[in-house]
Chains A and B, each alone.
Chain A
Amino acid sequence: MHNRFLKQFKLNKIGMSGLIIFLFLLLLAIFAPVIAPYDPWDYSFEYLLPPSIDHLLGTNDIGYDLFSELLWSLRTSILFGVSVGAIASTIGLLIGVSAAISGGLYDIIVMRIADALLAIPTIMVLILIAAYFKPSTIVLIIALSLIIWQTIARGARAQTLSLKSKLHIKAARNMGASTSYIIFKHILPELFPLFAMGFVTKVRIAVFMEAGLSFLGIFDPTSKSLGIMMNYAMRYLYLDVWYNWLLPTVLSLSMLIISLALISYAIEEIFDPRLRRDNIA
Chain B
Amino acid sequence: MKQENAHSIRIYLRYIFNKYILSKRWVKIAPVYLMTVFILLFLNFLLPRLLPGDVIIAMYSGQELLITDELYNELIVLHGLDKPLIEQFCIYITQLAHGDLGYSYISHASTTDLIMNALPWTLLLVFSSFILSSIAGIILGVESSWRRGGRFDRSLLMIMLFIDGIPSLALGIMFLTVFSLYCGWFPTAGALTPYSDTTGIAYIIDVLWHLILPLGALTLSQIPGDYLLIRNSMLLTIREPFVLTARAKGIKERRIKYLHTARNAILPFFTRIGIRVVYVITGVLFIETIFAYPGLGLLTYEAISNRDLPLMQGIFTISVLLVLVVNILVDISYKKIDPRIEYA
Contacts and interface: CB of A to CB of B under 8 A. Distances in A.
A254 B170 contact: yes
A123 B236 CA distance: 33
A277 B150 CA distance: 9
A260 B165 contact: yes
Nearest to B51: A132
Assign chain B's interface to a size class.
35 or more
A124 B286 contact: no
Contacts of B149: 277-280
Given A127-B312, A227-B169, 5 more contacts: A128-B316, A212-B282, A250-B174, A258-B162, A262-B165
A120 B304 contact: no
A117 interface: yes
A115 interface: yes
Interface of B: 31-33, 35-36, 38-40, 43-44, 47-48, 51, 58, 148-149, 153-154, 157-158, 161-162, 164-167, 169-170, 173-174, 177, 181, 228, 232, 235-236, 238-239, 274-275, 278, 281-282, 285-286, 289-290, 300-301, 304-305, 307, 309, 312-313, 315-316, 319-320, 323-324, 327
B39 A117 contact: yes
Given A274-B236, A274-B239, A119 B169 contact: no
Contact of A119 (B164, B228, B274): B274
A237 interface: yes
19 contacts: A112-B32, A121-B281, A124-B315, A124-B316, A125-B316, A128-B43, A128-B313, A131-B307, A132-B58, A133-B51, A216-B285, A216-B304, A234-B173, A242-B181, A253-B170, A257-B167, A261-B165, A262-B165, A275-B232
A275 B144 CA distance: 13
A281 B285 contact: no
A127 B203 CA distance: 35
Contacts of B274: 118-119
Nearest to B280: A121
Contact of B309 (A118, A131, A260, A281): A131
B165 A274 contact: no
A230 B176 CA distance: 13
Given A257-B167, A261-B161, A277 B313 contact: no
Main secondary structure of the interface of A (DSSP, over half): helix
A124 B309 CA distance: 12
A121 B173 contact: no
A185 B38 CA distance: 38
Given A121-B320, A125-B43, A280 B162 contact: no
Max count, chain A CB within 10 A of own CB: residue among B32, B38, B169: B169
B161 A127 contact: no
Nearest to A242: B177
A147 B38 CA distance: 14
Given A250-B170, A277-B153, A120 B31 contact: no
A123 B166 CA distance: 18
B51 A120 contact: no
Nearest to B316: A124
Contacts of A121: 278, 281-282, 316, 319-320, 323
A116 interface: yes
Contact of B161 (A234, A254, A258, A274): A258
B295 to A, nearest CB: 14
B166 A254 contact: yes
